[in-house]
Chain A
Amino acid sequence: MPAEKSWHLNRRDVLRGTGGIALGLPFLEGMSAGSDAKSETDLPKRVCCMFFPNGVALPPESNEHHDDWHWFPDGEGSDYKLNKSTASLEKHRGDITFLSGLSHPTGRKMAGHGVSDIFLTAGAVDPNAYSNTVSMDQVIADQIGEETRLKSLALSCGGGVGTSGRTHTLSFTKNGQPIPAEDSIRRSFNLMFGKDSTSLKDARQELVLKKSMLDRVLEDSRSLKNKLNSRDRQKLDEYLTSMRDYERRIQRMESWLTKPKAEVDEASISIDATSSTMEDYVRATYDLMFHAFQTDTTRVITHMLGIEGGGSKTDHFPEALGLQTHHSLSHRKGGDFKDWGVWDQFMNQNFAYFLDRLKNAQEGDVSVLDRTVIMYGCGTSTTHLARNYPLILAGGGKLGISHGQFRKFDENKTRLSNMFVSMMNAVGVPTEKFGDSTGDLNEIFRV
Chain B
Amino acid sequence: MTFVGNLTVVLRRSVLVGLFVCQAVGVGCAADAQQEFFERELKPIIAKYCLRCHGADLQEGDLRIDQLNPDLINGKDADFWHEVLNQLNEGEMPPEGEPQLSRQELTRATTWLESELKKAAARRNSTGGRQLMRRMSRYEYQYTLEDLLGISLDYTDRIPGDLSGDDGLMTNASLLGMSPVQMESYLTVAEAALEEAIPDGPEKVFKKVSTAISVTKVRGQRVQKPKKADKSKKADKSKQPPKPRFISPSPGMKKSSFVHDLPRKVTFDERPFAGRFRIKVEVVAKAASDGRLPELMIQVGHRASGDYDPKKVMGRKMLEARAEPQTVEFTGNIEDFPLGKKDGYYNGSGSHNVTHLSVWLWNTAVPQADVSVDTPIEEVDEPLLEVLSVGLEGPLLEGYPSQTAKNLLPPSPNSDNESAYSREVLARFLKRAYRREVSESEIAQAVDSFRTFRELTTDFKAAMRKTMAMTLVSPKFIYLIEPSGASDTARELNTYELATRLSYFLWASMPDDELLGLAESGNLLKRDVLVAQVKRMRKDQKFERFAKHFSSQWLGLSAIDHVAVSPSAHPDFSDEIRENLKAESMAFASHIFMEDLSCRNFINSDFAMLNQVVAAHYGIDGVHGSHFRPVPIASDQHRGGVLTHGSISIIGSDGTDSNPIYRGVWLRKRLFADPPPPPPPGAPPLDKSDPELSSLTLKEQIELHREAPACARCHDRIDPWGVAFENYDATGRWRTALPNSRKREAVVFDATSTLPDGTTVSGMSELQDYLVRNRSTELALALSRRMASYALGRQLEFSDTEMVNELAARFEDSDYRVSSLLEGIALSEAFLTK
Chain A residues engaging chain B, CB cutoff 8 angstroms: 108-112, 126-130, 160-161, 163-164, 173, 175-180, 186-187, 190, 194-197, 205, 208-210, 212-214, 216-217, 220-221, 224, 226-232, 235-236, 238-239, 242-243, 245-246, 249, 266, 271-274, 276-277, 310-312, 315-316, 325, 328, 331-336, 383-386, 412
Contact = CB atoms under 8 A, between A and B. Distances in A.
Given A109-B82, A212-B452, A310-B564, A161 B121 contact: no
Contacts of B135: 235
A419 B691 CA distance: 42
Nearest to A106: B79
Contacts of A127: 121, 166, 678
A243 B181 CA distance: 9
A209 B178 CA distance: 23
B58 to A, nearest CB: 16
B345 A228 contact: no
Nearest to B656: A328
B122 A109 contact: no
Contact of A111 (B306, B457, B481, B678): B678
B654 interface: yes
Given A128-B125, A213-B466, A383 B479 contact: no
Contact of A217 (B180, B182, B308, B474): B474
Interface residues of B, number: 86
B179 A164 contact: no
Contacts of B685: 331, 333, 383-384
A229 B488 contact: yes
A214 B488 CA distance: 30
Given A108-B681, A163-B163, A383-B685, A266 B351 contact: yes
B655 interface: yes
B114 to A, nearest CB: 12
A208 B349 CA distance: 24
A205 B455 CA distance: 12
9 contacts: A179-B181, A224-B481, A228-B133, A232-B482, A235-B135, A243-B183, A310-B564, A310-B654, A334-B687
A201 to B, nearest CB: 13
B133 A272 contact: no
Nearest to A275: B307
B175 interface: yes
The dominant DSSP class at the B interface is loop
A231 B132 contact: yes
B348 A325 contact: no
A273 B306 CA distance: 7
Contacts of A315: 564
Interface centre among B122, B161, B181, B457 (most CB of A within 10 A): B181
B181 A220 contact: no
Contacts, number: 223
Nearest to A164: B163
A276 B177 contact: no
Interface centre among B178, B479, B689 (most CB of A within 10 A): B178
B160 A161 contact: yes
A384 B679 contact: yes
A109 B184 CA distance: 36
Interface string B141-182: 000000000000000000011011110000001110111111
A178 B306 CA distance: 31
Contacts of A235: 132-133, 135, 173, 178, 479
B180 A245 contact: yes
Interface centre among A129, A210, A239 (most CB of B within 10 A): A239
B475 A236 contact: yes
Nearest to B164: A163
A130 B164 CA distance: 9
Given A109-B79, A209-B466, A239-B178, A273 B564 contact: no
A202 to B, nearest CB: 11
Contacts of A129: 121, 124-125
B182 A228 contact: no
Given A179-B179, A194-B349, A272-B305, 13 more contacts: A109-B86, A177-B182, A197-B341, A213-B187, A213-B466, A216-B445, A228-B484, A232-B484, A236-B133, A239-B178, A245-B180, A310-B562, A333-B684
Contacts of B83: 108-109
Nearest to A205: B456
Given A160-B161, A228-B484, A312 B183 contact: no
B483 interface: yes
B179 A173 contact: yes
Contacts of B474: 217, 220-221
Interface string B73-98: 00000010011001000000000000
Given A110-B681, A216-B449, A231-B127, A224 B475 contact: yes
A208 B350 contact: no
A111 B681 contact: yes
A336 B163 CA distance: 37
A229 B485 contact: yes
Nearest to A336: B689
A164 B165 contact: yes
Nearest to B442: A220
Contact of A128 (B121, B457, B475, B488): B121
Nearest to A128: B121
Interface string B298-339: 000000011110000000000000000000000000000000
B132 A186 contact: no
A239 B479 contact: yes
A108 to B, nearest CB: 7
Interface string B689-724: 111000000000000000000000000000000000
Contacts of A177: 177-179, 182
